[in-house]
Each structure stands twice: as structure tokens, then as C-alpha cells.
């Protein structure tokens, strides 16, 4: 069996691979490394989990490291001046003869383009230790987070940039970096970038890189314009394929389970999620993923969600909890069907069957990775059976539908060893606590939303910035139990009637609510600061009905934001 030491890799990189317990390459690595290390353009085709990341990480780092990395190099003469591209088979291989150098600020030497933030982070996790072993630096560039750290890393001299197209184009337009020094460009999961509509941006970025640079493209398929990228940007590429892009993995077992109704489905999902091994549950909607993760956690099965409504920080925390084993269950939308590479996922469950067969294959590809076995379960109600059958035919999956209950022997075998139920901690349930408190504040502080709407005043001054009130909200929910209702009119603290994003002055009838201070005036009755007598008098005279429901609703949003990590991640 071949080992990494057999290839023309620097000894420091081989040592780092050994430290990670990696000694033998996967088939896509064995097949492509001789060509990529020699400077050839390469088209790599294979499903996720086949080892593609390391297949391009090794030649990228080796090319930039140069011979000073104290490792064996290719046997061909690399000291001769580079010939024009049309006259050479190994473009820019002379770069290997130079001593390693740090990139000047904003002038990276290698670029990896990928479709999602999660994939960018995981590619970086693979490349960074290899790069450090030979004195190179990496950075990631993607949206959903402040760009200041990314700009600082570029100015410090990042050698290898792993980027999503959108934010990279933003920084290019701001002249935070240039691509004229790029020696090697990698397009990873090009078909997924095409599915997401990123190809126009990818082409604009590729047009900024030197034509004589080395290009590596990895894709499961050549659909949706990926073949155009190959023809336009790869020069005489060598193609290496492992596993048909559309064929199922031999080590993957598929089950098609049918239940009577939604209640039976809920019970079945809870049972299947209760094992000790890692499992990923897929839903069609963000709300469904969030709700299911919450239900499982409350049932004693630690679960985290992953979907487009989470901030980048929340995504990373949840993915880390799943990767580390703190949570054995990840409930995700199709955002995780591509690019989420977590080892040892034993079971993938299609809680909601996907819309088309490609999504089925990509979801299922989270298990049976790198030669390991894996199991895929699709759950359908009786009215979905025909649609799921058609989907599986297109995916070339053979799995007969089986009617089951949560106590069916097949279900028991799929669960495996059961994990001990864990009582949710305060931290784990803080999101639901904050949501409950916020809902309570909205209910108590605004019993007459219709009247409150009539009392809206002064246009923009009445608009509350949901994010700004987050500072008044504690993660546990709401101060003083959420919202104090003052005759329906409302001083809501922490849950929220401190509306700082616009002043929130609502004048309806005679009621004036100023920043939560709630002075309610009606017919001479004044309620100041929330005194009990004032509240009763104001309530009696009905002025409190025209109070700041908006402020209380703002508290609900703030409580939800504080606990849930916010919105804005896609």
C-alpha cells in the first residue's frame, strides 16, 4: 500500500500527516498527487468524503513551500525558466525552485474558492496545520461576519486564502487584496457553487488570476455550467475520478420507513435520534430544524440545529458541539448537505424527504465517508410514498417501503446502543426560556395590538431596531419575569419596553409611553413610574389600552436574538 512518504512531499508535511495519524492516501489522492505536484492542471471528480480536500491541500502547500522545506522534491529539472504555457506540460513549476517567502500584504499566492462558510472553515482546518509546518499562513474570507479581521489577516501577509465568492469580490472591489500573485487556484465543489448561482462571480474572480497559474477543479458533476469552467480556465487538464458522481456508495445502507401520521413520525424520529453514535437529521425548513432540535433537547437528547437563520458564531458553536460530541444529534436544512465534513456519522435521517434526488445523494453523503459504513433512513407518511419511490429511482437507490412503529425490531436495530437521557441545563434551554419570556411580555404588555397600531406616531421615530434592544435583554429571558404590564400599558423591562432604536413614542388618545417610562395620562388620571395606584386608575379609565405594544414586541425579538445567536447567517 502506498504511503504519503512515497510522494514528492516536503518532510515537514509528511511529519505533520503522521502526527495526525494519516499515513496512506485515499484513491483520489494517490491518483492525482503525481500530476498536481508536477504542476499539471487537474479535474478531480468524486463524491464528498472521498478525500478531495487533502488531494488539493498537499500540492498547494508543497508548491508554495519550495525546496527550503527540507523535503524531497520532484525529480524533474525545476530550475529552468518557465516556458510559455503552450510549450510546457507543467506550468510554473519553476516556482518550486524558489525559497519559501511570505506573501506581501494583500498579495496571496494561493486561492481556494468554495461555496459555503462551513466548508471554508473546514478546508482551512485541513490546510492550516500543513501550511504552518512549512512556515506559511492561511486565512478564510466569507460573509456573515465583520470583514475587519479578514482585512487584517490579508495585510499581515496571508499566503493561502480560502474564500467564498461573494465576500472575496467585495474585498477585491475595496482593494484589500489583489490576485496578480496567485500561483495556484482551486475550485472546490464547483457544482455546488453552480447550484447556488455563484458561477458569474467565480468567472470574474478567475479572470483576475494569472493565466499561467496552476488550476485544480474538484466537482461531483459537470452540470449547470461547470463544464464551461473546465473548458475556459483549465489547460489540458488531467482527469481523475473516484466513484460515479451519481451512484450510491457501496458501504451505505438505505431504509425507507413509512408511518401513519405526524404523531407517529414524531415518536419515530425521537427514537431514531436516541442512540449513542453521531447522526444528522435533515428537515426542509429552518423553522422545522430549530423546532426539532429544541424538542429533542427537551426530551433529554442533546441536539443542535444548523440553518440559514443562525449567525456565523452560532453556526460555528453548534457545529463544534456536534463535532466534539457534546451533542450527538445535528438537525439541519440542506445548508449542511454539502460541505459539512464531520467524521464518524453513523446515521443520516431524512425527516423530511428532499425535493429531488441530487439533494438525497448529497444529504446521504454525510455518512459512509472515507471508506466507512453508514446508514440512511428516509421517513415518509403514507401520502408521500409514491413521491419518495420516484426520488429513489432517480437516485438509483433500491429500498422497499416498510410500515413501522417506534417499537418495530428494525427501528430498534437502527437505534443501536441507547444513550442515557440528559436533563437539559439552563444554558441549553436558555433559547426557549428567552422565547417564552418574550412571548409573555408581548402578551401582557400588548393586549390590544389593534389599538396600539392606531396609536403609532411619528413614522421613523416609532420604529424599533430589534438588534439595539438586545443589550437590554438577558439570555435567561426577561427581567422581572419578562414584562410588567401596567394597566395593559406597559413598562416592559428586559423583555422589553426599553426601545432605544427610535425612541418609541406612542401617542394614542392620551397615553404617552416614553422609553419605557410609561406615563399614561387620561382624563386627569396619571400613572407615573408604575405606581400601583396610578396603574389601577389608568386602567380604570382605559387609557392604558393605547400603549406600546410595539415596545413589548421589541422585547420579544430582543430576547429571541440574545438567546438564539441572532439572525443574518446564511
Query: Lowest-pLDDT range, 12-21, 28-37, 340-349, 466-475?
Result: 466-475
The string of pLDDT tens digits covering residues 498-513 is: 444 444 343 444 434 3
Q: Mean pLDDT over residues 255-272, rounded?
A: 97
- For the segment 135-157, the average pLDDT, to the nearest whole number, is 96
- The pLDDT of residue 99 is 45
Residue 549 pLDDT greater than 50, yes or no: no
Per-residue confidence band for 251, with pLDDT thresholds at 50, 70 and 90: confident
Q: Per-residue pLDDT for 202 more than 60?
A: yes
Model confidence band, residue 43 (pLDDT cutoffs 50, 70, 90): very high
The answer on pLDDT for 524 being more than 80 is no
Residue ranges of the chain that CATH labels 3.40.50.300: 4-73+88-242, 252-415
CA nearest to 307, candidates 277, 337, 327: 337
Question: Which is it for strands 184-188 and 110-113: parallel, antiparallel or unpaired?
Answer: parallel
> Is the pLDDT at 279 greater than 50, yes or no?
yes
Cα distances from 208 to residues 168, 193, 242, 278, 305, in angstroms, run 12, 18, 31, 42, 38
Fold annotation for 252-415: Rossmann fold (3.40.50)
Least confident range of 2-16, 178-192, 452-466: 452-466
Q: Where are the beta strands (DSSP E) in 509-568?
A: 511-513, 519-522, 525-527
Q: Mean pLDDT across the stretch 319-342?
A: 86
Contact 534, 526 (CB under 8 A): yes
pLDDT, greater one: 228 or 463 = 228
The more confident residue out of 252 and 472 is 252
Gyration radius from the chain CA atoms: 29
Angstrom distance (rounded) from CA 469 to CA 464:
8
Model pLDDT, residue 523: 41
- The secondary structure of residue 189, as a DSSP letter, is S
Residue 336 — pLDDT band, cuts 50, 70, 90? Answer: low
Lowest mean pLDDT among 199-203, 219-223, 518-522: 518-522
Mean pLDDT is lowest, of 108-117, 395-404, 484-493, for 484-493
Mean of per-residue pLDDT scores for the chain: 76
Contacts with 197 (C-beta within 8 Å, 6 or more apart), sequence order: none
pLDDT above 60: residue 482 = no
460 pLDDT more than 60: no
Strands 506-508 and 238-242: unpaired
Beta strands in 110-233 (DSSP E): 110-113, 138-141, 160-163, 184-188, 214-219
Options 3.20.20.370, 3.10.450.350, 3.40.50.300, 3.40.190.100; which CATH number does 4-73+88-242 get? Answer: 3.40.50.300
Q: What average pLDDT does range 236-243 have in this prediction?
A: 87
CB 445 within 8 A of CB 478: no
CB atoms within 10 A of CB 193: 26
Sheet containing strand 506-508, strands side by side: 506-508, 511-513, 519-522, 525-527
Q: Is the pLDDT of residue 412 over 70?
A: yes
Measured over the CA atoms of residue 134, residue 10, residue 35 and residue 245, the dihedral's sign is negative
- In angstroms, the CA 408 to CA 160 distance is 52
DSSP structural state of residue 419: P
CA distance 41 to 85: 11
Res. 229: pLDDT tops 60: yes
Cβ atoms of 268 and 256 within 8 Å: the answer is no
pLDDT of residue 515: 40
Q: Which band of pLDDT confidence, cut at 50, 70 and 90, is reported for residue 426?
A: low
Query: Which of 50-64, 419-433, 436-450 has maximum average pLDDT?
Result: 50-64
Determine which of 5-19, 399-413, 524-538 has the lowest per-residue pLDDT on average.
Answer: 524-538
Pick 46 or 450 by higher pLDDT.
46
Q: Rounded distance, CA 272 to CA 42, Å?
A: 42
Q: In the block, which residue shows the cell 441572532? A: 566
Q: Identify the pLDDT of residue 264.
A: 96
103 vs 290, residue with greater confidence: 290
Return the higher-pLDDT residue of 202 and 477.
202
For residue 112, pLDDT beyond 60: yes
Q: What pLDDT shows up at residue 438?
A: 41
Distance of CA 262 to the CA centre of its chain: 28
Which whole number is the average pLDDT over 143-170? Answer: 96
pLDDT of residue 32: 95
Dihedral over Cα of 117, 122, 123, 129: its sign: positive
446 has pLDDT over 80: no
Query: Is residue 308 within 8 Å of 242, Cβ to Cβ?
Result: no
Long-range contacts of the stretch 19-24 (C-beta < 8 A, 24+): 20/129, 22/54
Q: Give 368-382 pLDDT, tens digit per residue.
A: 776 678 999 999 999
Of 49-53, 74-78, 540-544, minimum mean pLDDT range: 74-78
For residue 1, is pLDDT > 90? no
Quote the cell numbers at residue 402. Answer: 416498510
Cα distance between residue 224 and residue 210, in whole Å: 25
Return the C-alpha cell found at 95: 516556482
| pLDDT surpassing 90 at residue 188 | yes
Query: What's the pLDDT band for 68 if we cut at 50, 70, 90?
Result: low
- Please write the tens of the pLDDT for every residue from 84-94: 333 333 344 43
Res 334: pLDDT = 86
- pLDDT at position 560 is 37
The Cα–Cα gap between 302 and 60 comes to: 39
- In the chain, what is the greatest distance between 2 CA atoms, to the nearest angstrom? 96
Q: Across residues 450-468, what is the average pLDDT?
A: 38
Amino acid at each position: 500500500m502506498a504511503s504519503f512518504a512515497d510522494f514528492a512531499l516536503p518532510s515537514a508535511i509528511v511529519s505533520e500527516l503522521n502526527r495526525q495519524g494519516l499515513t496512506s492516501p485515499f484513491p483520489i489522492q494517490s491518483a492525482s498527487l503525481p500530476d498536481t505536484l508536477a504542476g499539471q492542471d487537474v479535474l478531480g471528480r468524486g463524491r464528498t468524503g472521498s478525500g478531495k480536500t487533502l488531494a488539493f491541500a498537499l500540492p498547494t502547500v508543497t508548491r508554495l513551500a519550495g525546496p527550503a522545506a527540507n523535503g524531497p522534491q520532484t525529480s524533474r529539472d525545476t530550475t529552468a525558466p518557465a516556458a510559455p504555457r503552450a510549450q510546457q506540460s507543467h506550468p510554473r513549476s519553476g516556482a518550486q525552485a524558489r525559497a519559501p517567502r511570505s506573501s506581501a500584504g494583500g498579495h496571496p499566492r494561493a486561492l481556494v474558492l468554495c461555496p459555503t462558510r462551513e466548508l471554508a472553515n473546514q478546508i482551512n482546518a485541513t490546510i492550516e496545520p500543513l501550511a504552518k509546518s512549512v512556515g506559511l499562513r492561511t486565512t478564510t474570507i466569507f460573509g456573515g461576519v465583520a470583514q475587519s479581521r479578514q482585512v487584517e489577516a490579508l495585510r499581515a501577509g496571508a499566503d493561502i486564502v480560502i474564500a467564498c465568492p461573494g465576500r472575496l469580490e467585495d474585498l477585491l472591489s475595496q482593494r484589500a487584496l489583489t490576485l496578480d500573485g496567485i500561483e495556484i487556484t482551486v475550485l472546490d465543489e464547483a457544482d455546488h457553487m453552480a447550484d447556488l448561482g455563484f458561477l458569474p462571480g467565480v468567472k470574474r474572480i478567475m479572470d483576475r488570476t494569472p493565466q499561467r497559474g496552476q488550476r485544480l477543479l474538484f466537482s461531483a458533476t459537470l452540470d449547470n455550467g461547470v463544464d464551461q469552467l473546465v473548458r475556459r480556465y483549465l489547460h489540458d487538464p488531467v482527469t481523475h475520478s473516484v466513484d460515479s458522481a451519481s451512484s450510491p456508495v457501496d458501504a451505505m445502507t438505505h431504509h425507507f420507513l413509512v408511518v401513519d401520521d405526524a404523531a407517529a413520525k414524531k415518536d419515530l424520529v425521537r427514537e431514531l435520534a436516541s442512540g449513542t453514535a453521531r447522526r444528522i437529521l435533515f428537515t426542509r425548513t429552518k423553522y422545522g430544524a430549530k423546532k426539532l432540535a429544541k424538542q429533542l433537547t427537551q426530551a433529554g437528547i442533546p441536539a443542535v440545529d444548523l440553518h440559514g437563520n443562525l449567525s456565523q458564531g452560532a453556526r460555528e458553536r453548534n457545529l463544534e458541539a456536534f463535532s466534539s460530541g457534546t451533542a450527538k444529534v445535528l438537525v439541519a436544512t440542506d445548508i449542511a448537505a454539502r460541505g459539512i465534513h464531520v467524521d464518524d456519522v453513523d446515521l443520516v435521517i431524512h425527516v423530511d424527504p428532499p425535493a429531488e434526488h441530487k439533494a438525497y445523494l448529497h444529504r446521504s453523503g454525510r455518512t459512509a465517508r472515507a471508506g466507512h459504513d453508514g446508514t440512511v433512513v428516509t421517513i415518509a407518511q403514507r401520502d408521500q410514498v409514491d413521491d419518495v419511490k420516484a426520488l429513489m429511482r432517480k437516485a438509483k437507490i433500491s429500498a422497499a417501503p416498510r410500515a413501522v412503529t417506534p417499537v418495530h425490531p428494525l427501528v430498534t436495530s437502527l437505534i443501536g446502543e441507547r444513550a442515557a437521557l440528559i436533563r437539559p441545563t439552563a444554558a441549553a434551554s436558555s433559547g426557549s426560556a428567552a422565547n417564552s419570556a418574550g412571548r409573555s411580555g408581548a402578551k401582557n404588555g400588548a393586549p390590544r395590538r389593534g389599538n396600539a397600531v392606531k396609536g403609532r406616531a411619528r413614522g421613523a421615530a416609532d420604529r424599533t431596531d430589534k438588534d439595539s434592544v438586545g443589550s437590554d435583554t438577558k439570555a435567561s429571558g426577561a427581567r422581572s419575569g419578562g414584562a410588567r404590564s401596567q394597566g395593559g400599558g406597559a413598562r416592559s423591562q428586559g423583555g422589553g419596553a426599553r426601545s432605544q432604536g427610535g425612541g418609541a413614542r406612542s401617542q394614542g388618545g392620551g397615553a404617552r409611553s416614553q422609553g419605557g417610562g410609561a406615563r399614561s395620562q387620561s382624563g386627569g388620571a396619571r400613572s407615573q413610574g408604575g405606581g400601583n395606584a396610578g396603574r389601577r386608575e389608568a386602567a380604570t379609565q382605559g387609557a392604558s389600552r393605547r400603549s406600546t405594544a410595539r415596545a413589548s414586541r421589541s422585547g420579544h425579538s430582543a430576547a429571541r436574538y440574545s438567546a438564539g445567536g441572532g439572525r443574518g447567517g446564511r
